[in-house]
Amino acid sequence: MTGWNVIYPMGWDDNGLPTERRVQNFFGVRCDPEHPTEPALAEANGINKTRAILDSLKPHKERIKDPLPIAREDFIRLCHFVTEEDEKAYRDLFYRMGYSIDWSEEYATIDDRSRRIAQRSFLDLNRKGHVYTSELPTMWDVDFQTAVAQAEVEDREKNGAYHDIEFAVEDPNADVKSFVISTTRPELLAACVGVTAHPDDPRFKGLFGKYAITPVFFSRVPIFPSDKADPEKGTGILMVCTFGDQTDVEWWRENSLQLKAVLDKDGRIRPMEYGVEWDAAKGHEDRAKENFGSLVGLRVNQAKRRVVEMLQDSENSATSKGAPLQGEPKPITHPVRYYEKGDNPIEYLTSRQWFVRLLDKKDQLQGKGEAVRWRPDFMHKRYANWTDGLNADWAVSRQRYFGVPIPVWYPLNEHGERDYGKYIVATEDMLPVDPTATPAPGYTEDQRGKPGGFDAEVDVFDTWFTSSLTPQIVARWGDADDRMSQLFPMDLRPQAHDIIRTWAFYTIAKAMLHHDDVPWHNAAISGFIVDPDRKKMSKSKGNAITPLPLVEQYGADAVRYWSANGRLGMDMAYDETVFKIGGKLVTKLYNAGKFVLSQTGPQGDITHELDRAFIAELKDVVRRATTALDEYEFAVALQVTEDFFWSGFTDNYIELLKGRTRNDDDAEGRASAVAGLRLGLSVMLRLFAPFVPTIADEVWSWVFAEETGVPSVHLAPWPGSAGAQGGMSMPGVPAGHDISAVPAPQNPGSFAAAREAIAAIRKAKSEAGISLGKPLSSLVLSADEKGRSDLSLVLGDVAAAGGAPSVSFNGAVTGGDTRFEAEITPLEE
């Protein structure tokens, strides 16, 4: 409407765990890459057919209890079926909501272009030295069995218990022969590789440099000082395990401690011979081996119970002073880290992953964050705080199936072992590529898995690795039809505040690493719709609402009206009355349009003072609404428009004109009235068009479409706009629809004065208990000099609207808060 050629693409983020989980639950299957493909499944062309085939392989009831393993290829096909269904539902909803999306610009993060550009991103990062693969302790979800990134982890307040456990000091000559540590995770005792306390803590100063012996497993571990140990917490001395948390990782690294990985990728205790592969104090080897053996295969919680039992056995003491467990466990609540989509706590496992180097670029990332205009401003703080608190590089590899493959292979040595240092990256011409299906450059397929041959990376990218490229995907970065120079950086990223640390952050990071630029100039951060008690909506709490039933009940315009009331960055309490108000606005627009377009009369210009004064106010409304929209303050624009529509246009201007539009004796005044009404309606429809597009376009279609040759209000020029921008073609503003062509009134206060006068007359009629349409035989207004002067040019309209033959004046209003007061005499019947 303002003449700009705007791109508004639609992208579907269909990679990732939620899709996989839905497929697993919906079909009763699980992905097993070792499993052969099922030919029948390849024939399936949709959900129903697929279910029938699966039912013939294994009944549904049994599959739900014990999921059917299927090949990766088959699994991915099912993922596509599910995402297609979901996307269809959203597409239908967005159509009904009237979003002006360029549907020809639709893309999905799993489609060929997105995969190609995501892999191109990896190639570029690799070329620039920003990626590396390494075997490191990483946050791991034991249910999904994948690495997760810092951004995907959240703290949850959980019940736990401090267990006080006695350790022995190895040195027989030490002053202190034993000490007690306090831990919430006794099951990690077998992974204990050190003990630490604060360097200034007098209780433990003498121990530093000596060794401790753990109970139950009789492991010899160093005692070292650390500033990070809190003397106030627990007993002030604690065990370091591989790995309980991020601090353990740091202690392990800084002190070159041993690695005792006790947990397997599925969250169970690994088979390992304590006292054989891992040391145990002399004479205790068998005991250590037997104790650990009883834990093998147990889940974390089971292992915890078993270790606590063993800690109650004095035979397992390292000091021969009775049971190592001191007293009863003390219940506490404490924050526990979870993968945001997970049901069991995060564990720190050592595994090989791919990383994007970000920790060394915090300053640059802050600079780019400052170069983006955040709306509202304070949202920038969220970004800055997150960037400041980064403590790990971005782990981008995921041990999942439905995602963009990492385009990498590894050469195998003569023993068939991967040489990770010499990894092979795909070449540009291969993209998109699935390395498990295509041989590495320079190799042939028959060398796959053979000594001296190659082996494919099976991991896929984190879903954010692709969705952080949405500007580049839309701009087709690096493709033959590249549009980067026109579309990058983009103008606006609209998104909610919960994904500043992920979507916004990673998108800024990628734009910086690839282009040393910002991805967009503005970030408009919306709040959430919260339930009437201001609680976050969630499916599991049962307080969530979905838009479609509301669209069906109240109409798309009412739903849009409601959402347009939300201020950027502010949560909005769900309030159904707002839909009703939106519905009333739609009805009112319909009725006002019907009335205005039914007024006929001689053709003519807007010459009357009242009409020009009304248009002058309307110009101001246009100016304020336009300014607000320029600042992304759409709620303000709507409110300014709506206020004037009700109190300026329908309740007053239309009412004041009803006399003149029917006055056969004043052709010029009548023509001016009809023209003023129609221009007013035309402008109001265009101002409302972004908010209530359906009714605005409906009313436009009745007369204006044909009259102007502009078939839709959404193609009509924005009131007061400069016309076509940047080479776009726009229809000119048709005669009678151009607000700027109307001359200024003689007195800018005319319309306001008429409005106040009519209010005074209404008040008098209301207080007299008579109908507002009741004709008057006399109408006397009290007004001061200024009031009389402001009214002088519009008296005829005021008298007609009041139902009086004429207006006479009295002295100024004494007291009160109005300029005008009316004395009325109803006409005798």
Partner RNA sequence: GGGCGAUUAGCUCAGUUGGCUAGAGCACCUGUCUUACAAACAGGGGGUCGCAGGUUCGAGUCCUGCAUCGCCCA
**CB hemisphere CA count around 361 (13 angstroms):** 19
Does 72 sit near RNA (CB under 7 A)?
A: no
Cβ-based neighbour number of residue 699 at 10 Å? 25
Instruction: Choose one: 462-470, 652-660, 704-712, 775-783; the region binding RNA (CB under 7 A).
Output: 652-660
Task: Name the minimum Å distance from CB 750 to RNA.
Answer: 18
Distance (Å, rounded) from C-alpha 737 to C-alpha 534? 44
Instruction: Choose one: 222-230, 355-363, 607-615, 763-771; the region binding RNA (CB under 7 A).
Output: 763-771
Instruction: Choose one: 109-117, 473-481, 482-490, 585-593; the region binding RNA (CB under 7 A).
Output: 585-593
Does 25 sit near RNA (CB under 7 A)?
A: no
Distance (Å, rounded) from C-alpha 707 to C-alpha 711? 9
Q: In this chain, which of 94, 208, 646, 809 binds RNA, going by CB under 7 A? A: 646
Each residue of 424-434: b (16+ CB within 10 Å) or e? bbbeeebbbbb
Instruction: Choose one: 79-87, 173-181, 578-586, 707-715; the region binding RNA (CB under 7 A).
Output: 578-586
By beta-carbon proximity to RNA, the closer residue of 581 and 724 is 581
Q: In this chain, which of 444, 766, 806, 808 binds RNA, going by CB under 7 A? A: 766
Task: Name the minimum Å distance from CB 604 to RNA.
Answer: 20
Instruction: Choose one: 254-262, 646-654, 703-711, 722-730; the region binding RNA (CB under 7 A).
Output: 646-654
Task: Name the minimum Å distance from CB 528 to RNA.
Answer: 8
Does 159 sit near RNA (CB under 7 A)?
A: no
Task: Name the minimum Å distance from CB 39 to RNA.
Answer: 45
Distance (Å, rounded) from C-alpha 252 to C-alpha 261? 12
Does 567 sit near RNA (CB under 7 A)?
A: yes
What six digits make up the tokens of 339?
């993968």
Instruction: Choose one: 2-10, 213-221, 348-356, 769-777; the region binding RNA (CB under 7 A).
Output: 769-777
By beta-carbon proximity to RNA, the closer residue of 60 and 535 is 535
Task: Name the minimum Å distance from CB 624 to RNA.
Answer: 9
By beta-carbon proximity to RNA, the closer residue of 35 and 763 is 763
By beta-carbon proximity to RNA, the closer residue of 99 and 646 is 646
Distances (CA, A) of 449 to 37, 421, 440: 19, 17, 11
Task: Name the minimum Å distance from CB 382 to RNA.
Answer: 5
Q: In this chain, which of 1, 492, 759, 812 binds RNA, going by CB under 7 A? A: 759
State the burial class of residue 125 (Cβ atoms within 10 Å of its Cβ: 0-12, 13-18, 19+): buried
Task: Name the minimum Å distance from CB 553 to RNA.
Answer: 11
By beta-carbon proximity to RNA, the closer residue of 150 and 316 is 150
Distance (Å, rounded) from C-alpha 385 to C-alpha 403? 30
Give, as ranges, the residues between 483 and 542 that touch RNA (CB under 7 A): 497-498, 501, 530, 532, 534-536
By beta-carbon proximity to RNA, the closer residue of 154 and 201 is 154
Residue with tokens 């983020």: 13
By beta-carbon proximity to RNA, the closer residue of 389 and 449 is 389
- Quick one: DSSP state of residue 569? T
Residue with tokens 């769900």: 574
Does 352 sit near RNA (CB under 7 A)?
A: no
Contacts of 716 (CB under 8 A, 6+ apart): 1, 686, 689, 700, 704, 708, 710, 731, 737
Strand pairing report for 29-31 and 347-356: unpaired
Contacts of 575 (CB under 8 A, 6+ apart): 532
Does 770 sit near RNA (CB under 7 A)?
A: yes
What six digits make up the tokens of 331?
């219940």
CB 224 within 8 A of CB 255: yes
- In this structure, the dihedral spanned by the alpha carbons of residues 367, 373, 374 and 378, taken in order and rounded to 10 degrees, is 70
Give, as ranges, the residues between 369 and 408 that touch RNA (CB under 7 A): 378, 381-382, 385-386, 389, 391
Task: Name the minimum Å distance from CB 639 to RNA.
Answer: 6
Does 575 sit near RNA (CB under 7 A)?
A: yes
Distance (Å, rounded) from C-alpha 346 to C-alpha 502? 19
| Binding string, residues 195-234; x marks residues near RNA by CB under 7 A | ----------------------------------------
DSSP H/E element including 140: strand 131-141
Residue 705 phi/psi, 5° resolution? -60, -50
Does 581 sit near RNA (CB under 7 A)?
A: yes
Of residues 560, 528, 449, the one with CA closest to residue 94: 560
Does 153 sit near RNA (CB under 7 A)?
A: yes
Each residue of 620-652: b (16+ CB within 10 Å) or e? ebbebbbebbeebbbbbbbbbbbebbeebbbeb
Contacts of 74 (CB under 8 A, 6+ apart): 37, 38, 41, 42
Distance of CA 611 to the CA centre of its chain: 47
Task: Name the minimum Å distance from CB 335 to RNA.
Answer: 5
- Quick one: DSSP state of residue 652? I
Does 680 sit near RNA (CB under 7 A)?
A: no
CB 526 within 8 A of CB 633: no
Task: Name the minimum Å distance from CB 533 to RNA.
Answer: 8
Distance (Å, rounded) from C-alpha 630 to C-alpha 556? 24
Q: In this chain, which of 740, 771, 792, 806 binds RNA, going by CB under 7 A? A: 771
Does 651 sit near RNA (CB under 7 A)?
A: yes
Site for RNA, rule CB under 7 A:
150-151, 153-155, 246, 335, 378, 381-382, 385-386, 389, 391, 497-498, 501, 530, 532, 534-536, 567, 569-573, 575, 577-578, 580-581, 583-584, 587-588, 591-592, 594-595, 598, 639, 643, 646, 650-651, 654-655, 658, 759, 762-763, 765-767, 769-773, 817
